[in-house]
Amino acid sequence: MTRTKTLLEQFRQNRDERPDEPAFLIAAGDRSVPITWREFAEDIEEIAWIVTHYAPGAVVGLLGENSYEWITAHAAGLFAGVTVVPLEVNLSAKEIVDRLAFTGATYLVHSALYVEKAREVERMLPGLVVGGFGSHKADELMAIARAALDMGDDSVFDLPARNEDETAMIVFTSGTTSKPRGAELTLHGIRTFAAFAEKAFHFQPGARSLMLLPLYHIFGLCTTYAMLAHGVSLGVCPDFRRIYDAVARFRANFLFLVPALADILANKISQHGPSAETVLGTPIDWILVGGAPLARRTYERLMALGIRPLGGYGLTETTSLYSLAPVDDPRPGSAGLCCQGFGGMEAKVSADGELLLRGPAVLKGYYKEPTRTADVLDADGWFKTGDIGRIDEDGYVWITGRASRTIILSSGKKVAPEELEEKLLSIPGIHEVVVSGDGATRELVAEVYAVVSEETVKRQIDALNRQLPVHKRINRVVARKDPFPRTASGKIQVRQTNAPASAPAPESLPPLPKPPTPQMPPIPPFKAAPRTWLFWLVLVVAAGVFAFNLASLFCPSLKGSLPASISGLVDGTEILLSIFALLVLFVALKGRNLMMVYKRRKRK
C-alpha cells in the first residue's frame, strides 16, 4: 500500500510545483489579493524558525478570528514541534486563563481584534508571554528569521518531520459533558482526514473554496488542511455572516458549511435568481454539511439551486473523521461512507447500537483526565462515540439518535444541558431545573422549580446569560408550580429533546415546519488598537465642523451668536474642507486591509 504523504511533504510539494499559484485570496477593498504558495511557505519557515529558537516544545495558545495569519501560525507551530491550543473567541478572559493554565501553556498568540482580551489574560496569568499577529515585535522577529534563513539556517521544510503520532494539538470539546475536555490530537489524525476527504471529493489543484468555518473548531480546521494539502485556493472570510459576498467575490467551486450557513446561503441566492450559476456566474458543485443535521427544506432548496448537499459525520475526539459522503454517490439521508479500512481506521457498531472507531484519527486521550479517557476508550483502543446508528452493507453510516442529552444546534455548536443546569442550580432559590433545546431554532429553554418569584428567577438568569457564550444563553424560562417527577432511583425524569445527528432521506421526511428566523450571534465589539484616539478625535472634530456649517446655511443667526474670532473660523468655505476631511478618513478606512497586505509584502 502506498504511503500517504505527511502534511509537511504535501505543503513542500505545493511550494515546489506551484510556487506562483495562490494558496490564499485576501479581500482588500474591491479586490482580491493573492498570497502564493511561495509566500505562504516562506511565512511558515519564518514562524517555525522563531518557534524552534524561542519556544521549542512549548504549549502555545492561539486566539483570533479566521485569518491568513492564524492558519500560518498554526501550521508553523505543528511543523516546528510545539503543542497548539486553539481558543474559541467567545470565551471570557477567565475561561481562557483556565484553559491555558490547565494545559501548561506559556505563550499566547492573538489577532489585533482580541488585543484587549489578550491583555486581560496576561494580567491574570503571570509569566505568560503574549504576542500579536502583525505587531512591531512580530515583524522584527520575522525579519530576524528571514535573515537567518537566507544565511543558511535550516528551513522547517528541510528538517526531519516531527513524530506524527505525538500530541500536536489540545482541542477542547464543545462542552457535551459537564465541562469541555481537552482532546489530545495528532498530525497523523489530520493527515488521515485530509486523505479520506480527497478520496471522497477529488480535490483539484487550483479549485477555489472558502476558509469560512471557525478554525478553533476541529471541523473547520481539518477541512482547511485537507484543501490546502491538495492545492485548493482558499478565500479568507473572517465574518461568516457575509458568506454570500465571499462566495461571489472568490467564486468558490465548493464549500464546507454547517446547516445554519447553508440555509443563509440558500436564502441569499434565492433572492437574486433561480440558480447559483445564474446568480454568481459560476456553479457551486457541492456543499459538505457537517456538525448538525440538514433540514429537509434546506436540502430541497439547495438542490433546486443546482447545489448538491453532501453529509458527513465526525467528532472532535476523532479528528472530525468517521464518514464522508463521496461526491460520486452521496446517498441522501446517510452520514456518508464509513472510513473503515482506510489509512488504518476501523469502525464498527457495538451490541447496543453505538458507533465505535479505532485508528490514528482517534484522540490519544483527554488531557490530564485518565478516568474520563477510560470512559470513552476501551482497553483495545475503541472509541465510544455516544451516537446510535448502523453501517449498511455498502459501508454507509446511518445515525438514528444520540446516546446522550446533547443539544446539537443548527450552527454546529453543541450544548450540554448538564453544564447549564449546574450553573442554574447555583442560583439561590432554584431547587430543580431541566434544560432542553431545539437544534433548528437554537432556542434553549430552562424549566425551573423555585421557591422565589418567577420575576426573580428570570432576572437572575438574565444576569447569568451575560456571562455565557451566545450559543449557551437561556432564551426562555418556564416556571413550574410543582417539583419534577422522579425515577425510582431519585433522578429527575428528562424528556429526550435532542435531534438525530443525521437527517433521514428526503423522501421519508415529515411535512416541512415553518422556517425559523436565523439567530446569528452579534458582531463582537470593535476593539480600538493603541494610539488610535487621534484618528477618532479628528473624525469627531471634522464631523462637528461640517454639521455646524450645514446648520448655518439654514439658520444664519447661529454664526452671529458667536464671537467674531470664532465665527471666522467656521466660515462657509469650511464645509468644503470638512467634506474633504471626511472623504480622506473614509478612504483610509476602506483601504485599511490593502495597507495591511502592502505592509506584509514590503516586509518581505
What is the 3 state secondary structure string of 62-118?
EECCCCHHHHHHHHHHHHHCCEEEEECCCCCHHHHHHHHHHHCCCEEEECHHHHHHH
Per mean pLDDT, which range of 245-249, 290-294, 481-485 is the poorest? Answer: 290-294
> Quick one: pLDDT band at residue 400, thresholds 50, 70, 90?
confident
- The answer as to whether 89 is a domain residue is yes
547 has pLDDT over 60: yes
When divided into structural domains, the chain yields a total of 4
183 has pLDDT over 70: yes
Average pLDDT, integer, range 106-132: 96
> Quick one: pLDDT band at residue 294, thresholds 50, 70, 90?
confident
Q: Are residues 392 and 421 in the same domain?
A: no
Q: Are residues 417 and 379 in the same domain?
A: no
Share of the chain above pLDDT 70, in %: 78
Sequence letter at residue 252? A
Cβ atoms 85, 108 nearer than 8 A: no
604 has pLDDT over 80: no
Residue 236, CA distances (Å) to 25, 40, 256, 510 in order: 6, 14, 13, 38
Q: Are residues 211 and 279 in the same domain?
A: yes
Q: What is the pLDDT of residue 211?
A: 93
Backbone angles phi, psi at 294, to 5 degrees: -95, 125
503 has pLDDT over 60: no
Q: Are residues 486 and 396 in the same domain?
A: no
Cβ burial of 346 (10 Å; 0-12, 13-18, 19+) is: middle
Q: Which CATH number does the domain housing residue 200 bear?
A: 3.40.50.12780
Residue 40 CB neighbours (<10 A): 22
Average pLDDT, integer, range 49-63: 96
Average pLDDT, integer, range 180-204: 96
Q: What is the pLDDT of residues 515-532, one digit of tens each?
A: 344 343 443 443 444 445
Q: What is the pLDDT of residues 474-483, one digit of tens each?
A: 999 999 988 8
Q: Are residues 228 and 345 in the same domain?
A: yes
201 has pLDDT over 80: yes
Higher-pLDDT residue of 520, 236: 236
Q: What is the pLDDT of residues 322-343, one digit of tens each?
A: 999 999 999 988 999 999 999 9
Higher-pLDDT residue of 192, 601: 192
> Which residue, of 461, 477, 493, is where some domain finishes?
493
Residue 599's domain spans which residues? 533-603
Separate counts of helices (H) and strands (E) for the chain: 20, 25
Q: Are residues 395 and 427 in the same domain?
A: no
Q: Which CATH number does the domain housing residue 476 bear?
A: 3.30.300.30
136 has pLDDT over 70: yes
Average pLDDT over the chain reads 84
Residue with cell 471570557: 92
- The answer as to whether 510 is a domain residue is no
> Quick one: pLDDT band at residue 488, thresholds 50, 70, 90?
very low
Could you give the CA distance from residue 394 to residue 390 in angstroms, rounded to a whole number? 11
Residue 491, CA distances (Å) to 101, 116, 478, 485, 488 in order: 35, 44, 20, 8, 7
Q: Are residues 428 and 577 in the same domain?
A: no
Pairing label, strands 354-358, 383-391: antiparallel
Higher-pLDDT residue of 156, 509: 156
- The answer as to whether 261 is a domain residue is yes
Q: What is the pLDDT of residue 578?
A: 59
- The answer as to whether 388 is a domain residue is yes
Q: Which CATH number does the domain housing residue 9 bear?
A: 3.40.50.980
450 has pLDDT over 70: yes
Q: 93: which 3 cell numbers? A: 478572559
- The answer as to whether 513 is a domain residue is no
Q: Are residues 218 and 107 in the same domain?
A: no
Q: Are residues 349 and 206 in the same domain?
A: yes
Per mean pLDDT, which range of 196-210, 321-335, 493-507 is the poorest? Answer: 493-507
Q: Are residues 461 and 586 in the same domain?
A: no
Question: Quick one: DSSP state of residue 486?
Answer: B
Q: What is the pLDDT of residues 364-376, one digit of tens each?
A: 999 999 999 999 9
598 has pLDDT over 60: no
Backbone angles phi, psi at 258, to 5 degrees: -100, 160
28 has pLDDT over 70: yes
- The answer as to whether 173 is a domain residue is no
- The answer as to whether 31 is a domain residue is no
Stretch (H or E) spanning 191 = helix 187-201
> Quick one: pLDDT band at residue 413, thresholds 50, 70, 90?
confident
577 has pLDDT over 70: no
Residue 419 CB neighbours (<10 A): 18
- The answer as to whether 514 is a domain residue is no
Q: Are residues 448 and 547 in the same domain?
A: no
- Of the candidates 231, 319, 252, the residue with the CA atom closest to the CA atom of residue 41: 231
Q: What is the pLDDT of residue 570?
A: 52
Cβ atoms 445, 461 nearer than 8 A: no
Please give the model's pTM, rounded to 2 decimal places.
0.72
> Quick one: pLDDT band at residue 567, thresholds 50, 70, 90?
low
Q: Are residues 391 and 418 in the same domain?
A: no
Q: What is the pLDDT of residue 546?
A: 65
> Quick one: pLDDT band at residue 600, thresholds 50, 70, 90?
low
